[in-house]
Chain A
Amino acid sequence: MNTTPAPATTLQGFSRSESVAMAWPMIMLAVFFVIPFGTMLTISFFERVPGGFFEPGFTLESYARFIDPFFFKSLGMTMMIAASASVICLALAVPFTWSLSRMRHHSRVFWLVALLSILSLSEVIIGFSWSLLLSRSTGIGNILVWLGIENRAPKLSPGLGAVLTGLCYLGFPYAVLVLFPQLSRLDPTLHEAARMLGASPRRAFMNVVLPNIAKALVAAFIMVFVFTLGAYLIPQLLGKPQQWTLPVLIADQALFQSNLPFAAAMSIFLLGVSLSLVVCVGWLGRTAPHDQDDAHDDARSEEA
């Protein structure tokens, strides 16, 4: 809603100084966001010069390389790793976020600060610390030796398990923060009513809360999937070469194989996949039944 009447002289109801101020982000985004994507798209059609870099032209050669079984194998591995990590993340994040949304302000802030700190921790630090935690010399396997269960600590990294652990650590705070608005805006009387009618806390959660957030869960799954799909350092630090995901291959082609056109083509492909998934989330959000304004209007008194 627009309360200040627009001066007749300006376009679209903004004053001159407002328009100048808004031109700044628009120009910056156009130059440093839109044009780079255009450049990348253009380069993906350029011809590769073996031993050199690339030269202008138009060829679908880079896209034709997608038919290669090697590409399919790494694509399948990438999808499998991201999907498994997202499922594990959500399995942990849903009950956790449910508890979090029902905490008092101070403990809630404490957990949120911890989650944000971990979320913004560099992937290189996460990968490095988990490689220590899963290594033979400094790892958690030594607890087994100490307890006398094993003679020698197992070497858990690099491997698929290590990659999944690292990705779950990376994705967990993200999953919680995606779910947090949905769960904390959920009408608390729903759960209370179910409890009053005799349902156990778990049954009230499973039968009443969960169906209400089903769409939010699907949306959260897709968001976490796209997020873990983008991991670049963790597959390198915690995985073997066969667990290298698409982002690793893209960077490898661009920087070390000097094949920018192929890297750009793979990048456009990854863009297509993730963009269509994100559009699905937007579509889910529009049709979601939860009514934000209702939840807003009756901001409730504290519970539990």
Chain B
Amino acid sequence: MSRLLNRLFLGAIGLFMASPIIILLGVSVNAEKRLAFPPQGFSLRWYLELWNDAAWVNAISNSLLIAALASLLATSMAAPLAYGLWRRRTVWLRIFHAFGVAPFVLPPVITALGLLSFWIAVGGYGSFYSVVISHGVFLITLPLVTISLGLEAVNKEDLEAAETLGADAGARLRTIILPQVIPYAISGAAFAFVLSLNEYIIAYMVAGFTVETLPIKIFNSLRYGYTPAMTAVAIVFALVTALVFGLIGYFGDLPRLLGAWKSKEDS
């Protein structure tokens, strides 16, 4: 009885989670240019239109490039910070760790407005690279958290043994620390990549009128007339997102990354 209730509850939650995707999928395969659900006719023309419309292609490539560069930037900053904290928890490192985590916990509009004021003051408002740097700094939290988790798993006795056997700091880093931490760094970069792809308010405030990313383009087309192409692009994006997380889940230990102590082997 309670098992059945549990199943029903999980099913209802699953339906709640899936319903927006179902409706987007339905509308995106409409044959005609109107929003209808259930779909009238079946056609993939809206998916094709994405590739033929220069404005959508431009938005997609902007978003992908920004996300790739920003996630690299975020990971390159997170790695030394996480490493430093793992070695020694000095006051300064802890303060900067708080700076790294804060933008992610606070309402993003605050960071967005701070960056808008900053870029207006220094003259980078509206530029592509301002968006890259803003996203990179905003998303540092994710690789910072995952790399710290990876470092926690490194066995300090192995390091001592290596040191006794004469390995210098560089060799210990290359042969013991990096091989264990790199999978976590990749997961962190992937998290940052996906979040940058979907981020709206910071990109909009920093360069919304000049650099059109995909979420901005979708919102603009929402205001100036619907087209089923928007639902097609939303579906493509949701698929990319699910694919990235699916890969992390398949190759990495997702429950541990998200804070469960029990690792893969135990359950």
B171 within 8 A of A: no
Q: Mark A108-125, 1 if CB is under 8 A from B, else 0.
A: 111011111110111111
A280 within 8 A of B: no
B13 within 8 A of A: yes
Central interface residue in A21, A104, A223, by most chain B CB within 10 Å: A21
Q: Is the CB of A138 within 8 A of B23?
A: yes
Q: Is the CB of B169 within 8 A of A15?
A: yes
- Majority SS at the chain B contact face: helix
5 additional A-B residue pairs with CB within 8 Å, beyond A185-B260, A230-B108, A232-B108: A18-B80, A22-B81, A33-B102, A138-B35, A184-B261
Q: Is the CB of A301 within 8 A of B266?
A: yes
Give the A-binding residues of B (Cβ under 8 A). 2, 6, 9-10, 13-14, 16-17, 19-21, 23-24, 27, 35-37, 76-78, 80-81, 83-84, 87-88, 90, 92-93, 96, 99-100, 102-103, 105-118, 120-121, 133-134, 136-137, 140, 156, 159-160, 163, 169, 191, 194-195, 197-201, 204-205, 208, 214-215, 218-219, 222, 230-231, 234, 237-238, 241-242, 245-246, 248-249, 254-255, 258-264, 266-267
In A148-178, which residues have CB < 8 Å from any B CB?
169, 172-173, 177
A220 within 8 A of B: no
Central interface residue in B84, B109, B134, by most chain A CB within 10 Å: B109
Q: Which 4 pairs from chain A and chain B are nearest by CB?
A: A230-B107, A181-B259, A129-B20, A36-B118
Complex Cα spacing A177 to B6, Å: 19
* A29 contact from B109, B137, B204, Cβ within 8 A: B137
Complex Cα spacing A130 to B18, Å: 11
Give the B-binding residues of A (Cβ under 8 A). 1-4, 12-15, 18, 21-22, 24-26, 28-29, 32-37, 39-40, 43, 92, 95-96, 99, 101, 104-105, 108-110, 112-118, 120-126, 128-130, 132-133, 137-138, 140, 169, 172-173, 177, 180-181, 184-185, 200-202, 223, 226, 229-230, 232-233, 237, 246-247, 250-251, 254-255, 260, 263-264, 267, 270-271, 274-275, 278, 292, 295-296, 299-302
Chain B residues closer than 8 Å to A110, beta-carbon distance: 249
Q: Is the CB of A264 within 8 A of B238?
A: no
Kindly provide the distance from the CB of B139 to the nearest chain A CB, expressed in whole angstroms: 11
* B234 contact from A95, A101, A125, A181, Cβ within 8 A: A125
Known A-B contacts A120-B194, A138-B37, A255-B205; A181 and B258 likewise in contact (beta carbons under 8 Å): yes
Complex Cα spacing A190 to B238, Å: 39
Chain B residues closer than 8 Å to A36, beta-carbon distance: 111, 114-115, 117-118
Q: Is the CB of A3 within 8 A of B159?
A: yes
Chain B residues closer than 8 Å to A250, beta-carbon distance: 109, 113
